[in-house]
């Protein structure tokens, strides 16, 4: 059931923090030193633990929308050997008006996650809520598992799941974007034209997010003359319909982050 009190969100807003250069470099170093091999045949299956926070009247998500959301995640990641599944019997629905309007970094977020999370090493804790301040969502980074494991997961605005009211953010792409962070990706516009941007070689650096449905033939703030901002990249800010791709180097980063921080999702090869 869609929300009655939904207030239209005009442009994508993600509250995932910009990690510091120190954190990014430390993670890059860990990934570089990764001893376990990630080959083309390495596959991961991620178990999604849906936790729907409601305020009694608003925030309930139907089974059909959960199925569609998981299909959208699979559509984005499965060609790279990363698949998602969930168990309908394990879905949690929790009624708490205070948590329903939680903000990023709030006490409500900490309380809710502390009480509701499932083992983050074995599940993607996928929270939905109404959120505050026009946010579509946020996520934690994989290295935060160490020391802050209860907060691990993604938080996504309920109406952004497929079939919700958050048009043009109603196709479930917000979850793909947040899961991208949760698997170690940064915004393509991170650090603008300074430093190493998003630390991914094949996404052109750009100065600011792109919004709406920008013309892909325009530079749109790309830092290098002749390059174009990646307006179809899931880690940019365009409308859902416009975000359709990851790059090869992003996927290499994601798969190595999975191996480094979330090995429980590794699909064990069967012995013959
Ligand atoms: Zn983001």
pLDDT in tens, 163-184: 999 999 999 999 999 999 999 9
pLDDT in tens, 107-130: 999 999 999 999 999 999 999 999
Give the tokens for residue 179. 């899961």
pLDDT at position 260 over 70: yes
Distance 271 CA to ligand 1 centre (A): 39
CA-CA distance, 21 to 123, in Å (whole number)? 28
Does any domain span residue 3?
Answer: no
Three-class SS of residue 219? coil
Does any domain span residue 252?
Answer: yes
CA-CA distance, 218 to 221, in Å (whole number)? 9
Distance 19 CA to ligand 1 centre (A): 12
Helices (H) and strands (E) in the chain, counts: 7, 6
Does any domain span residue 23?
Answer: no
pLDDT at position 197 over 90: no
Concerning whether 178 is annotated as a catalytic residue, the answer is yes
Give the tokens for residue 86. 């969930």
Distance 190 CA to ligand 1 centre (A): 10
Question: What confidence score (pLDDT) does residue 271 get?
Answer: 58
Torsion of CA 236, 18, 48, 268, to 10 degrees: 100
* 227: enclosing H helix or E strand: none
Q: Are residue 234 and residue 162 in the same domain, yes or no?
A: no
> In terms of pLDDT, which residue wins out, 193 or 72?
72
> In terms of pLDDT, which residue wins out, 67 or 198?
67
CA-CA distance, 263 to 204, in Å (whole number)? 30
Distance 138 CA to ligand 1 centre (A): 6
Write down the residue that tokens 């174009």 correspond to: 228
In percent, the amount of the chain with pLDDT more than 90 equals 79
CA-CA distance, 99 to 94, in Å (whole number)? 9
Q: Are residue 100 and residue 59 in the same domain, yes or no?
A: yes
Q: Are residue 125 and residue 235 in the same domain, yes or no?
A: no
Beta pairing, strands 124-129 & 44-54: parallel
Q: Are residue 173 and residue 198 in the same domain, yes or no?
A: no
Stretch 246-264: mean pLDDT: 96
Cβ neighbours around 189 below 10 Å, total? 24
Q: Are residue 123 and residue 232 in the same domain, yes or no?
A: no
Among 147, 126, 132, residue whose Cα is nearest residue 51: 126
**What CATH number is given to the structural domain containing 177?**
3.40.390.10
Distance 180 CA to ligand 1 centre (A): 8
Distance 183 CA to ligand 1 centre (A): 12
Q: Are residue 50 and residue 180 in the same domain, yes or no?
A: yes
Does any domain span residue 21?
Answer: no
Question: What confidence score (pLDDT) does residue 219 get?
Answer: 66
Q: Are residue 57 and residue 112 in the same domain, yes or no?
A: yes
Q: Are residue 106 and residue 161 in the same domain, yes or no?
A: yes
Q: At what angle do helices 173-182 and 63-77 cross, to 10 degrees?
A: 60
Stretch 87-101: mean pLDDT: 97
Q: Which of 88, 144, 178, 248 is catalytic?
A: 178
Give the tokens for residue 122. 């074995």
pLDDT at position 272 over 60: no
Give the tokens for residue 85. 């599944």
Does any domain span residue 79?
Answer: yes
Question: What confidence score (pLDDT) does residue 225 get?
Answer: 86
Say how many domains are in the chain: 2
Distance 270 CA to ligand 1 centre (A): 36
CA-CA distance, 179 to 165, in Å (whole number)? 21
Q: Is the dihedral of CA 50, 135, 147, 267 positive or negative?
A: positive
Does any domain span residue 269?
Answer: yes
Q: Are residue 179 and residue 57 in the same domain, yes or no?
A: yes
Range of the domain at 218: 194-245
Under the banding of pLDDT at 50, 70 and 90, the label for residue 1 is: low
Q: Are residue 202 and residue 163 in the same domain, yes or no?
A: no
Among 168, 178, 164, residue whose Cα is nearest residue 234: 178
Does any domain span residue 161?
Answer: yes
Q: Are residue 103 and residue 236 in the same domain, yes or no?
A: no
Give the tokens for residue 38. 């990630």
> In terms of pLDDT, which residue wins out, 22 or 195?
22
Under the banding of pLDDT at 50, 70 and 90, the label for residue 27 is: very high
Distance 94 CA to ligand 1 centre (A): 25
**DSSP E strands, 87-146:** 92-95, 124-129, 137-139
Distance 268 CA to ligand 1 centre (A): 31
Mean pLDDT of the chain: 93
Q: Are residue 159 and residue 215 in the same domain, yes or no?
A: no
* 123 burial via Cβ count (<10 Å: 0-12, 13-18, 19+): buried
């Amino acid at each position: 059931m869609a929300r009655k009190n939904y207030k239209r969100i005009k442009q994508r807003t993600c509250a995932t923090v910009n990690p510091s250069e120190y954190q990014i470099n430390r993670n890059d170093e860990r990934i570089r030193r990764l001893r376990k091999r990630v080959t083309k045949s390495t596959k991961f299956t991620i178990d999604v633990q849906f936790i729907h926070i409601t305020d009694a009247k608003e925030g309930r998500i139907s089974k059909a929308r959960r199925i569609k959301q998981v299909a959208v995640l699979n559509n984005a990641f499965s060609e790279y050997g990363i698949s998602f599944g969930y168990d309908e019997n394990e879905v949690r629905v929790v009624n708490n008006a205070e948590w329903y309007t939680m903000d990023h970094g709030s006490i409500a977020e900490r309380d809710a996650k502390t009480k509701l999370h499932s083992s983050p090493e074995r599940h993607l804790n996928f929270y939905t809520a109404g959120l505050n301040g026009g946010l579509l969502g946020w996520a934690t980074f994989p290295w935060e598992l160490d020391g802050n494991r209860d907060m691990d997961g993604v938080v996504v605005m309920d109406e952004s799941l497929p079939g919700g009211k958050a048009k043009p953010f109603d196709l479930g792409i917000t979850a793909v974007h947040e899961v991208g962070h949760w698997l170690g990706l940064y915004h393509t516009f991170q650090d603008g034209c300074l430093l190493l941007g998003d630390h991914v070689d094949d996404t052109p650096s750009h100065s600011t997010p792109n919004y709406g449905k920008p013309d892909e033939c325009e530079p749109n703030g790309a830092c290098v003359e002749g390059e174009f901002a990646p307006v179809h990249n899931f880690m940019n800010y365009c409308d859902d319909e416009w975000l359709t791709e990851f790059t090869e180097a992003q996927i290499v980063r994601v798969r190595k982050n999975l191996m480094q921080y979330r090995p429980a999702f590794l699909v064990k090869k069967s012995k013959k």
